[in-house]
Amino acid sequence: MKKTIRYSLVKVLFLSVLIQLTTTSIVAQNKAAELDKLMNRAHATGVFNGTVLVAENGKVIYRKAFGYANKELKQQLTPDFCFDLASVSKQFTGMGIMVLKERKQLSYDDKITTFFPEFPSYGKDITVRDLLNNISGMPKYESFATEYNLSNTEILKIIEERKSLDSNIGERYVYNNAGYVMLALIIEKVSGMSLADFLKENVFRPLKMKNTLVGDTPKINLKNRAIGYTVIGELDDYQVSHTGSTSIFSNVDDLFLWDQALYTDKLVSKRTIAEAFTPIVLNDGSVSNYGFGWFLTPEKESVNHSGSDFGYRNFIFRDLAKKNTYIWLTNAGNAVLKDEINVAIENILASKPYKTPKITVFSELQKALQTNSVNDAIAIASKSIKANPNQFVMDDAAINELGYKYLNENKLADVFSIFKFNLELNPNSSNVYDSLGEIYLLQKDTVNAIENYKKSVALNPNNANAVGALKKLGVATTELIIEVKVAPVVLKTYIGRYQLNENYSFTVTEENGILHIQGTGERLTTVIPMSENRFYSKIVTVQFTFNKDEKGIVDSLTLNMGKDMVAKKVE
C-alpha cells in the first residue's frame, strides 16, 4: 500500500512539473508570436531595418532579421550579421578596465596623470572612476574638432590643448565620449596591447564571441557585415574612427553571450560586476545613474545602453532581476522608433498590452515618391495623414534630410515644397524654420531668411546655427533671447513625476529658483524659462511646456523634440 502511495505521489509530481513546463512553453510561444507581430509591423512601416534578439529568464525566445544588409546588392539581413555597436562599445571598454583592476594593474582611484604624466594640470585630479562614471568634467572634444573621423591620438591632442574643465570633478554627470577614449588609451598604456588585441584576448575569446572585434583598421574582417545608411537610404557606412567610446562590431548572438556572462565570474568577479551597476554619488549628495558604460535604472533593477554612429542605431537592455534581455541592431540611421519599440518589447515580456509603432510620415512620403512627383507625393501623404492622423509620427528630421537630398541635386522648387510641408506638420520645430531660412538665403531673399531664422531662435534659443546666420546678416539676436524670470512659487507647481509611457517618466524638481528635469535612466537637466510655463535645455534640443487643466492645476507636460509628446502628471 505504501509503495502505491509513493508511486502515485511521484506520478503527481511528474505531471505537475510537466504541466508547468508545458505552460511556460506556451507562454513563451505566445510572447514570441507577439514579438513577431510587433517587429513585422515595425519593418513594414519603415521604422526597423536590422536584427533583434529577445531572451526571457536567460532563454532566447525570439531571434530574427528584417530588411537589407546591403541595399545596392539587395542582400538580405540574417541574425548573424554584424553591426557597428557605436556607444554600446563603452561597456566593453569598461570591462577592460575592470579586468586590469582585478589583476591589480590599476586602481579606480588612480589619477589620469599616473598613466599620462604630461596631461594638463587642469585635469590632474581626474581618476579612472571619474572617467568610467562620466563625472570627470573633462572638456568635450567634438566642438573643437576640424573633422569628424579622428583617431584617439588626435582626440588626446585636442583635450590637451584645452585650458580648463567643463565642470568640477564629481560635480555633475555629463555624457562624454572623450572620457572613454581616455580609458581606451589607459588600457593600451597599462597592458602594452592595442585595445583591439586586449579585448580579443581577455573578453571576446574567453566568451567565444567569434563575430566581435574592435574596428581600428580600414577593412573590417567579418564575414557578414551590415552596411550603414541614413534614414533616407543614403550611404553612411563605417569609417575608421576612434576606439573606446565606439567602433566595436558584433551581432545579436555574441551580445547575448556577453549578456549571459555578466551573470557569472567568467571575466571578473560578480562583486566587480555589481560595482559597474552601482550609481555614483555626486559632490552635492545627489545621485548619478551612469555606471561603467551602462545607464542604470535601480528602481527597476535594469541596465541599458544605446548606440548611434554613422548609419547604425543600436540598443541593449538587461533586466537583472528577471534575467530578461533584448538586443536590437540597425543600419538605417534614425529610422528606428527606439522608445516605441523598447516599450512594446518590455510590455510583451511582462504580458501587458502594447502599442505597435506608428508610421513615420517620411516612410509614407518615400513610398509615394517611387511613382510620383514631389508635389503629388506630398498630396498623397497629406491625404493619408488626414484620414488617420493618430497613426503617424511627424518626423521632422527625416523629412528635412530628404529636403537636403533634393538641395544637393539643385532641385530648389522641390526643396521648398518639402520644407513647407514639413512646417505644416511641425509648426513648433526650430529645425524646420532654420532650414527654410537657409533656402531663402540661397535665393538671396534675406527678408524671408531673417524671418525664418528669427522664428527658429524664438523656438529654440540654443540654436547656434540660426543665431550665427542672423549675426552674419547683421541682425542683433539679443532681443530674440529674452531673459524670463519665473517666480519660485510658480516653479514649485511644476514639481512632480510625469509619465510619458509605461516605462519612461520625467521627474521635475526645483532648487533655488531653478527647474531641473530628469528622464528615466537619464542625466539631470537644467531647463531655462522661455515663458512662465515653457522651458528649454541648453544641452539638448528639447522643450518642455507645462499644461493646466480647467481648474488651473498643472496636470501634464508636453515634450517637444521635433514632435509633441504629452506626459501626464502622476505624482
Identify the three-state secondary structure at position 91: helix
326 within 8 A of 53, measured Cβ to Cβ: yes
**Fold classification of 488-569 (topology level):** Lipocalin (2.40.128)
CATH superfamily for 369-473 is Tetratricopeptide repeat domain (1.25.40.10)
565 within 8 A of 553, measured Cβ to Cβ: no
pLDDT (0 to 100) of residue 146: 78
Tell me which residue of 452, 482, 484 sits closest to 470, measured CA to CA. Answer: 452
pLDDT (0 to 100) of residue 15: 47
How would you list the strands of the sheet with 302-309, edge to edge? 59-66, 50-56, 324-330, 312-319, 302-309, 295-297
Where are the domains positioned within the chain? 85-336, 369-473, 488-569
Angstrom CA distances, 541 to 76, 125, 201, stand at: 35, 32, 41
pTM comes to: 0.82
pLDDT (0 to 100) of residue 143: 79
pLDDT (0 to 100) of residue 102: 98
Q: Do domains 85-336 and 369-473 have the same CATH topology?
A: no
What stretches in the chain show pLDDT beneath 70?
1-28, 478-483, 502-503, 521-523, 538-541, 561-563
Distance between CA atoms of 76 and 67, rounded to whole angstroms?
A: 6
Distance between CA atoms of 308 and 256, rounded to whole angstroms?
A: 20
β-pairing, 392-393 vs 496-501, is: unpaired
Angstrom CA distances, 497 to 486, 500, 504, 519, 539, stand at: 20, 10, 10, 10, 21
Q: Where are the alpha helices (DSSP H) in 262-337?
A: 270-276
Distance between CA atoms of 533 and 570, rounded to whole angstroms?
A: 18
pLDDT tens digits, one per residue of 465-498: 888 888 888 887 766 666 678 888 899 999 998 8
Q: How remote is the C-alpha of 449 from its chain's centroid? A: 33
User: Which residue bears the cell 530578461?
Assistant: 324
| Residues near 178 by beta carbon (within 8 Å), at least 6 away in sequence | 138, 139, 140, 141, 155, 159, 245
The reply to whether 89 belongs to the active site is: no
Angstrom CA distances, 31 to 36, 44, 128, 355, stand at: 8, 20, 42, 14
- Could you tell me which CATH number the domain at 85-336 has? 3.40.710.10
Backbone angles phi, psi at 308, to 5 degrees: -150, 110
Catalytic residue selected from 16, 87, 194, 382: 87
